[in-house]
Structure formats: structure tokens, C-alpha cells
Amino acid sequence: MEPEDVTFELEKVYKKIGVIFKQAKAIAIYPEGTQTTSKPFVLIEYTGRDFPGKKENVEYDYLINATGPKLNFEATPGLGPDKNSLSVCSASHAKQAAQELKKTIENMKKGKNAVFLVGTGHGQATCQGAAFEYAFI
Ligand SMILES: Cc1cc2nc3c(=O)[nH]c(=O)nc-3n(C[C@H](O)[C@H](O)[C@H](O)COP(=O)(O)OP(=O)(O)OC[C@H]3O[C@@H](n4cnc5c(N)ncnc54)[C@H](O)[C@@H]3O)c2cc1C
């Protein structure tokens, strides 16, 4: 499958359940407000089609910060799609890995042997499951 087959815009999904969705990145958190407001807020910058670059303060009662993992290729010298290994940890990485796998399979069909090494970065990497899945697939 291509990335377009497995990705979709979130706004419509949230609209259905009455949640206000803002396509933006959080730049700073002000848990105690500022000199002009005592309410806590998050400074965001819009990244979607509608108002790219526009900044806004979004006040909150409760904040859940769920920005996901940071891919830490730097923890292992030589690791990473820009260096000596491939990754399946984002849609664009997975697409690149699939293209390389396809090329290798083509070469194997022509009689060339290939050795595959599948693994995770280092002892504290939390996504070993994906590596096992990939090996078994
Ligand atoms: C190849 C692969 C296979 C996996 N298979 C499984 C599986 O089979 N079962 C399973 O349970 N888990 C699986 N996982 C793990 C699972 O995908 C993650 O644990 C889960 O997606 C984490 O969810 P999350 O909401 O915490 O973070 P994410 O899904 O990473 O979401 C974080 C979001 O925050 C956004 N964000 C980051 N910074 C900012 C910012 N400053 N402002 C605004 N937004 C921001 C990101 O763009 C992203 O959309 C797999 C992961 C991979 C890579």
C-alpha cells in the first residue's frame, strides 16, 4: 500500500464527535499564563492549508501532551535512513524501506544472495514489536 492508502485527514474524524481540531504545531506551553493572563495556554502555529504560519494562544483547563516518540538514530553511530540503515517508523521511512526491499527482491530473483539484518536501535528503544513484525512479514 502507498502512504496515501493508509493516511487520512483528522479534521473530519474529530468533527463527527464534536471535537475542535486545529492543524498546528505546539511551540510553547505556558502552564502559569503570563503577566497579562493567569490562565494556562499553549502557543500554536498553524501548519494546515487554511492559515499556515498563523500563531494563536489556546487556553486550557487540562493539558495532555502526546507528541509521540523522537526517533533517536543519533544514539547509535551510523544508524538511520540518512546513514547506513532503513527505518519503518514513519510513513515516508516505510515507503523508502519498501522501495529498497523491492529492489533487493528483484536482485534475489536474478539469483543474487542477500543478507537482511532487522533490529532496533539500542537497549532503551521501546518499539521492538515493529522489528519483530517486519522480520516475520
Ligand atoms: C512500524 C510500527 C509498527 C507498530 N505496530 C504497533 C502495533 O502493532 N501495535 C501497537 O499497539 N503499537 C504499534 N506501534 C506503536 C504505536 O504506533 C505507537 O505506540 C503509537 O502510535 C504512539 O501513539 P502516540 O499518540 O503516543 O504518538 P504518535 O502516534 O507518534 O502521535 C504523536 C502526534 O503528535 C504530533 N506532534 C509531535 N510534535 C508536535 C507538536 N509540537 N505540536 C503538535 N503536534 C505534534 C505528531 O505529528 C504525531 O501526529 C507501531 C509503531 C511502528 C513505528
User: Closest Cα partner for 97 from 126, 118, 127?
Assistant: 118
Looking at per-residue pLDDT, the higher value among 68 and 13 belongs to: 13
Q: 106 alpha carbon to ligand 1 midpoint, in Å?
A: 32
Q: Tens of pLDDT along 77-88? A: 999 999 999 999
Residue nearest to atom 22 of ligand 1 (CA): 68
Q: What is the pLDDT of residue 116?
A: 93
User: Does residue 67 have its Cβ closer than 6 Å to ligand 1?
Assistant: yes
Q: Which stretches of the chain are assigned E, i.e. beta strand?
A: 24-30, 41-46, 55-59
71 pLDDT band, cuts 50/70/90, is confident
Domain boundaries, the chain: 3-59, 73-136
